[in-house]
Amino acid sequence: MQRPRLRDAGKLKTHELYPLNVFPDELIRRLGGYLVYLVYIGRKDISGDDFGDAFAEAVGGTHLGAPVGIADVVLGKSCWSAKTVKAKNPFNSKSVRLISGRCSPDYSYGISDPHEDLQKTGTAVLGIWNERVNIANDAYSQVRTAVLVRSYDLRSYLLFEEETGRFRTTDYKWSANNNGNLIGRDKAKNQRFTWQPHGSQFTIHCEIPAEAVKFQIKLPAQRLNKNDVLEMIKFDDSWITIVRQ
């Protein structure tokens, strides 16, 4: 759709690369090509950093590598948090759990016993997340989360994205499960969050949209191994210098 003509459009510093969750075919092809490359060079799995590299190349952006906050991949005033999860059959997956960083109510709010008041702790966890979103919104005009669901054999993939937003803390009720983890449920009693006191890991449960892109790659018949690479670069023992004090 054509972008609207506005009287204050001169203030706009960026525009969306593509509509939310409407990935151009060329982006999917570039992403798939990078995944084939990773398999060829010997990757037995696709890590979050691998996906960050692949997605950054596909959109023509930069993968920050060790981001502070939410932004993993940036392009102008747009940013993405890049997440990948594994599923037996990505095409049949209906929901995913996204590990979304560490939230420490003790450090941020001085809550030393997270089980003393579960609702207060859960509200604090979401407050930390919301503040990270605020920081991202200060730096970028568009903040999205891109999710790649990969199969165990690395042949099949599902890609989707969503706007990365704040959560209204009063919309969720918190309880503790048998492992002592905090569970956040919405008003329909659907589980939306998990927070683990040990390690302070925060996980967001999200549904996969119907318009998520499904694609498969052909795995290369041959793959590089260590000896192939060392022979290719003409490695010999003279490349190694042993330093002893």
From first to last of its 245 residues, the chain has per-residue pLDDT tens of: 555 565 655 554 456 799 999 999 999 999 999 999 999 998 999 999 999 999 999 999 999 977 667 999 999 999 999 999 999 999 999 999 999 988 999 999 999 999 999 999 999 999 999 999 999 999 999 999 999 999 999 999 999 999 999 999 999 999 999 999 999 999 999 999 999 999 999 999 999 999 999 999 999 998 988 898 899 999 999 999 999 98
Tokens read off for 160: 């989707």
The DSSP bridge partners found for residue 145 are 81, 162
pLDDT for position 32: 98
The DSSP bridge partners found for residue 180 are none
**14-239 is a CATH 3.40.600 domain:** yes
pLDDT for position 38: 96
Task: Give dist(CA 111, CA 119) in Å, integer.
Answer: 12
Q: What is the model's pTM?
A: 0.89
- Catalogue the E-assigned strands of the chain: 62-63, 73-75, 78-86, 95-102, 142-150, 156-163, 173-176, 182-185, 191-196, 201-207, 213-216
pLDDT for position 16: 79
pLDDT for position 96: 97
